[in-house]
Amino acid sequence: MPQNEYEAKFLNIDVDAVRAQLRTAGAQLVFDKTMFTRLIFENDAVQGEQWLRLRDEGGKTTLTLKQVSDATTINGTTEIEIEVDSLDKTAELLKATGLRQVRYQQNYREEWQLGDIKYDLDTWPDLPTFIEIEGPSEDAVRKAVADLGFDYAQARYGSIDLIYKSEMGRDILAESTLLFE
């Protein structure tokens, strides 16, 4: 059953200041800056605002069905996620069922945790590092946002393609690869 994903992104951050705030608040570094790779799959049934993401998280591999119903609200994205043991074999299985790999993407992520809140410092090709704050509910995320001194009205939601479109005028959904040089 799909679960709501409660996360808010904040652009234009001072990364060193955020790290210092997280340390001071007692957050624990879950993992240092790590390269993530993702393969995005679609077919006639899975397309548009719904897609399958197969992601290597630097030691853990997940397969996720993501669906964005409203990219303007914190509760507009749902997901179903499972852990798989092989990126290559899972990709082979998905292709054998008729799914097409439409994109290959890279990003770096550094993850911190405080209680049930995850703080991800994400770096994508050609974008400045931003923070994604994820929790079990909208109220929990709002509190975490306030604790860091961010303005909740400036939060961004939805998938990364919306940030590329608004910040760079770039349609990464039309690009088969999104890689660091």
- Whether the per-residue pLDDT at 1 is higher than 80: the answer is no
| Span 144-177, pLDDT tens digits | 999 999 999 999 999 999 999 999 999 999 999 9
The pLDDT score that the predictor gives to residue 46 is 62
Q: What is the mean pLDDT of residues 31-36?
A: 97
Q: Count of domains in the chain?
A: 1
The token pair at 176 is 């088969």
Residue by residue, DSSP assigns the chain as --EE-EEEEE-S--HHHHHHHHHHHT-EEEEEEEEEEEEEEE-SSS-TTEEEEEEE-SS-EEEEEEEES-TTSTT-EEEEEEEES-HHHHHHHHHHTT-EEEEEEEEEEEEEEETTEEEEEEE-TTS--EEEEEESSHHHHHHHHHHHT--GGG-B-S-HHHHHHHHH---GGG-SEE---
Specify the CATH number for the domain of residue 46.
2.40.320.10
Return d(Cα 179, Cα 104) in angstroms, integer. Answer: 8
Q: Which domain holds residue 76?
A: 3-178
